Copies of this chain bind each other. A is one copy, B any other.
Amino acid sequence: MIKERLASLRELMKDNKIDAYLVPSTDAHQSEYLPALWQRRQWISGFDGSAGDVVVTMNKAGLWTDSRYFLQAEKQLSGTTIDLYKIGVQGAPTIKDFLRNELKGGQYLGIDPRLVSHSEISSLIASLAAKKIGLKFIENNLIDEIWKDRPEMPLEKIMVWPIKYAGEPVESKLNRIREKMNAEDATAHVLTMLDAIAWTFNIRSKDVDFNPVVIAYAIITKSSAKLFVHPAKVNDELKGYLKGVAEIYDYNLFRDHLVNLAKGKEKVWLDGGTVNQWVVNLLEKDCELFYRDSPVTLFKARKNETELAGFKACHERDGIAMVKFLHWLGKAVPAGGVTEITAADRLEKFRAEDKLFQGLSFETISGYKEHGAIVHYSSTPETDVELKPEGIYLIDSGGQYLDGTTDITRTVALGKPTDEQKNRFTRVLKGHIDLSLTSFPGGTTGIQLDTIARKSLWDVGLNYGHGTGHGVGAYLGVHEGPHAISYYRGIGVPLESGMIVSNEPGYYKAGEYGIRIENLVNVVRDDEKSNNDFEFFKFDCPTLCPIDLNLVELSLLDKDEKEYLNGYHARVRKVLSPNLNEEQRLWLDNATCAL
């Protein structure tokens, strides 16, 4: 089937006089998660991981993906004639290398300009120019032309995110954006990122799994704000809500309005890292363009008081679901029949008891024993195993609630843990606590804090291969920039008041077990430590759920760490107990007893 699809694509490539065609993983909004109709790379290759780009030439085809997906890609590409290229493996050719090797001077790479950001295109052009390989933008996506039964555009109605959760009216948000535009003399700002648009217009929908975004474009000028969405998604409530503040247009009219911007020779602010090249192509001849991070990115990251209150509230209810789940797990596993998948499903049901629950915020990672050591493990019917009263179980999950987004990881001993497991768990816990306890001066960036969570593992020659924390949206994406606590992401972005970030150090012993402890925290001013010379900040932690004391090696914790753990558990008990039944409450009392 894949072979036939490739053959049809190559026919179209001939018609279009191109020698290679790029099928990126993403859509016109540079999304990580896409609605089904835009999952073109999955369709052409059969590989359905969340990241991976395909390039097809007349006699070769390749998929580029990262280490999370090497095994899965190998399996899914088998028999397709598509070769796997491993990103990050030394000596493995990149897409640019491949194109430079496979194409000759004078040949052309075809690209749908909607699917590549302006910065990517600039770097690609520079790379191919050296070998005089040309680049041809083809507006009609070639996959769409041959994909007969392609799904429809999702047409779920758009919901107005109530002001009691959003905390700031659209008008106020637009004014803040316009202030930034004025400071740059920009007359227009084009938004293409779905979460930025959802934030700006206080809208949510169910167009994409796990991410309550709306498929949309937006153009903001000094005097107007235009939202482009499919007309079928618009109801009277939305029309009323945006009346006098923003105009609603058909998603397909976005192109015409870009052309109008060009005619008006506007000075347009674009976010070069995310805006697609199709937008740039339509504007660049006539407009004065400049590229800088959208002001929305930082506005959205700094949650207001209302968002923070919702963040806190949804974490209390999420904590109740987690406690019910852990209590249930302790009884259900010895009784038998619980698997990675059924456990994850049971947790989702506990979450769904809350009436503000809207769905999961990402696919639950439910990993038993050696599966826990696979950082982005996703249990499938083929890999699913039964949980037994032995070994370690890791569950990383989160919910979307009307008042906020949650993300939590707990690692649980289902039997008696080994000394090594307790040692490793406690070292991860020390890192998690030390980071929680850190106060830092204004201007500090995440990479400066990342080390604090690793130090206790480094002390014994261990480490973990992922960042310590990612930003989180307010009833939006569970991964959100620009900040992070990481050695490779969010470099140069200071952590500011109101930012939400995860605190999730881990340890992974391949083939044996995985450990991760994750709470979400938000940055607040540290009034006690701030002084005339330095303003200090610290973390508040709304995540409420016991940390498995059976895995704690007490002698490894210092006084401050022990005090933190006991204080945290006392708070968990106090806040959650009133909402539990007698049996759950007794379980929680025991799970949170002071050490």
How many residues does chain A have at the interface if contact means C-beta atoms less than 8 Å apart? 30
Distance in Å: Cβ of A326 to nearest Cβ of chain B? 30
Question: In the assembled complex, which residues on chain B have CB atoms less than 8 Å from the CB atom of A529?
Answer: 460-461
Check A448 against B451 for contact (C-beta < 8 Å).
yes
Q: Which one of A441, A458, A460, A491 has the highest number of Cβ atoms from chain B below 10 Å of its Cβ?
A: A458
A256 at the binding interface (Cβ < 8 Å): no
Check A458 against B441 for contact (C-beta < 8 Å).
yes
Given contacts A441-B463, A463-B534, A534-B463, whether A455 and B452 have CB atoms under 8 Å apart is yes
Q: Which residue from chain B places its CB closest to the CB of A492 in the assembled complex? A: B491
In chain A between 241 and 280, which residues have their CB closer than 8 angstroms to a CB of chain B?
Answer: none
Question: In the assembled complex, which residues on chain B have CB atoms less than 8 Å from the CB atom of A459?
Answer: 439
Interface 0/1 of A465-491, CB less than 8 Å to B: 000000000000000000000010001
A340 at the binding interface (Cβ < 8 Å): no
Distance in Å: Cβ of A129 to nearest Cβ of chain B? 13
Question: In the assembled complex, which residues on chain B have CB atoms less than 8 Å from the CB atom of A449?
Answer: 451
Q: Which residue from chain B places its CB closest to the CB of A447 in the assembled complex? A: B447
Check A458 against B438 for contact (C-beta < 8 Å).
yes
Question: In the assembled complex, which residues on chain B have CB atoms less than 8 Å from the CB atom of A451?
Answer: 448-449, 451-452
A380 at the binding interface (Cβ < 8 Å): no
Copies held by the complex: 2
Q: How far is the CA of A558 from the CA of B533 in the complex (A)?
A: 28
Residue in B461, B491, B526 whose CB lies within 8 Å of A534: B461
Question: In the assembled complex, which residues on chain B have CB atoms less than 8 Å from the CB atom of A461?
Answer: 439, 526, 528-531, 534, 536
Distance in Å: Cβ of A333 to nearest Cβ of chain B? 30
Q: Which residue from chain B places its CB closest to the CB of A535 in the assembled complex? A: B461
Interface 0/1 of A522-546, CB less than 8 Å to B: 0000101111011010000000000
Question: In the assembled complex, which residues on chain B have CB atoms less than 8 Å from the CB atom of A458?
Answer: 438-441, 536
Distance in Å: Cβ of A537 to nearest Cβ of chain B? 10
A450 at the binding interface (Cβ < 8 Å): yes
Q: How far is the CA of A487 from the CA of B495 in the complex (A)?
A: 14
Distance in Å: Cβ of A175 to nearest Cβ of chain B? 23
Q: A438-B458, A463-B533 are in contact. List 16 more A-B contacts (CB 8 A).
A: A441-B458, A441-B463, A447-B447, A448-B448, A448-B450, A448-B451, A451-B451, A451-B452, A458-B536, A461-B526, A461-B528, A461-B530, A461-B531, A462-B533, A462-B534, A463-B534
Q: Which 10 A-B pairs have the closest CB atoms?
A: A461-B529, A448-B451, A441-B463, A463-B534, A461-B536, A461-B531, A451-B451, A447-B447, A439-B458, A440-B458
Chain A interface residues (CB < 8 Å from chain B):
438-441, 444-445, 447-452, 455, 458-463, 487, 491, 526, 528-531, 533-534, 536, 558
23 residue pairs from A and B, CB less than 8 Å apart:
A438-B458, A439-B458, A439-B459, A440-B458, A441-B463, A445-B487, A447-B447, A447-B448, A448-B448, A448-B450, A448-B451, A448-B487, A449-B451, A451-B451, A461-B526, A461-B529, A461-B531, A461-B534, A461-B536, A462-B534, A463-B533, A463-B534, A558-B558
